[in-house]
A and B are shown apart, each in its own frame.
Chain A
């Protein structure tokens, strides 16, 4: 039963980020490859502040502030750059944040990560924590579903389909992009904090390139822009990822095999959705 609770918790930690990412990348068709960069900055800001002050409220506020700051940078870049240029820039920003974390060892302990994180005020038992995650996920899924069906959801979909036509109606691209990235910042906060609380360790390896591939895979496989589709794909793919641990292969082979398998799934999903994944080019 403990393993089932473990799976529930892991799904709960991936879901907020995946749902906000599908709003930006899936529905908004903004080629954003920096969601892990936001999570990385948020988690380090939170846990370094927690280590320094010992106060959870201050730490969470700092984490939220840093999530908003880096998301605002991404939103600003998305307004200033062409879509493909922004895609590359978002990877560059993510890698820049990662390299700062890896190299500023005196603050972040670099590649060693930060172990024995102070416990957050969540239930101490695994079952209790899992139930908190279930409730949080239900609230999050409902919230994202409502946002998807709201005026904001329609505006971001309109901008994704045709920027000029939307602007001619009065839809402000700047306002919609900023709001979308702010929702993304909240998703990063609500995903990373419980995850690091649960494993008790903050390590930069969780924010490397394979993590980004997994994020993209969750959205593409679940149908970009679909709240329920991405919820189901998150559940299934996190289960697959964890169950692969039981495949009787040596760890040095299992790791690459898992990466290859995810690469194949991503390739198949992109191929299947090739007509709807990226914005259509239309002229006026």
Chain B
């Protein structure tokens, strides 16, 4: 049974059709890349999957359970972790508090499994080399450090499915590699990742499968190499070749 499946998901706002008949499924342990031009509906799809937007039609199943009507907080407790396109950290809190608040939001059983949450928070910061900044305000970090903190915080929360929205945007090549390592580490732990990215080499390095979206529809799916070779993708990003 697949971990996540969507069936005929559509979203309309007023007369505008934002998402159209999106159906796909994701197995446990897969890393799926979600690509497409700006405005193709990738972030909107993430907002629907994580519960911030209600689909006009269609259903979402996680672990076989229908989660279409659950609130974002309930979906998070059900196992969906999200990294946002902008920096989703709390700038007025310290780094330590940023991680701690995520752990404290887990269900009672998950918190019990984690043990000492303060210790886990510090270990999370150590994992990304930010332990020396533990008690400084997160707002004082660089963009790359904020991104690392956010990803590490989401990963340590023990979710099953991670929705990462442009995790390498505004990040140096060195940190991009660190982010790739963190995602591959998740795969080793059997976790599932959906990642929206514009960095196609990055997608090619880490993903098992790629879903290509355009104007709110899924237009192409396949292994990274197959998608990369496809004429459809080139046309989507660079337009039709006038010589052919």
- Measured CB to CB, the residues of A under 8 A from B are 151, 154-155, 157-158, 161-162, 164-173, 282-284
Residues in A whose Cβ lies below 8 Å from that of B73: 167, 170-173
Known contacts A162-B90, A283-B86; decide if A169 and B52 are in contact (CB<8 Å). no
Across the A-B interface, give the 7 residue pairs with the lowest CB-CB distance, nearest first: A170-B76, A170-B105, A167-B72, A168-B82, A165-B88, A151-B104, A154-B101
Determine the chain A residues whose CB is within 8 A of the CB of B47 once the complex forms.
Answer: 284
- Report yes or no: A284 in contact with B93, Cβ–Cβ below 8 A: no
Contact of B86 among A154, A157, A171, A282 (CB under 8 A): A282
A64 to B40: give the CA distance in the assembly, Å.
53
Q: Which residues of B contact A (CB under 8 A)?
A: 43, 47, 50-52, 71-73, 76-77, 81-82, 84-86, 88-93, 97, 100-102, 104-107, 153-154, 157
* A157, A168, A173, most chain B CB atoms within 10 A: A168
Closest to B159 in A: A170
- Beyond A166-B101, A284-B85, 13 additional contacts (C-beta under 8 Å) are A155-B104, A161-B91, A161-B93, A164-B72, A167-B51, A168-B76, A168-B82, A169-B105, A170-B77, A170-B107, A170-B157, A172-B73, A283-B86
CB distance from B243 to the nearest CB of A (A): 41
B-chain residues with CB within 8 Å of residue A284 when the two chains form the complex: 43, 47, 52, 84-86
Chain B residues with Cβ below 8 Å from A167 are 51-52, 71-73, 76
Residues from chain B with Cβ under 8 Å of A158 in the complex: 90, 93, 101
- Chosen A-B contacts, 7 in total, with CB atoms closer than 8 Å, are A165-B88, A165-B89, A167-B52, A167-B71, A170-B105, A282-B86, A284-B43
| Closest partner residue, chain B, to A172 (CB atom) | B73
Interchain CA distance A158-B153 in the complex, whole Å: 14
Could you say which residues of chain B place their CB within 8 Å of the CB of A161? Answer: 90-93
Q: Give the chain B neighbours of A166 by CB distance below 8 A.
A: 101, 105
* Interchain nearest-CB distance for A241 vs B (Å): 31
* A168 and B91 within 8 A (CB): no
> Chain A's nearest CB lies how many Å from the CB of B144?
18
**Chain B proximity of A7: nearest CB distance (Å):** 35
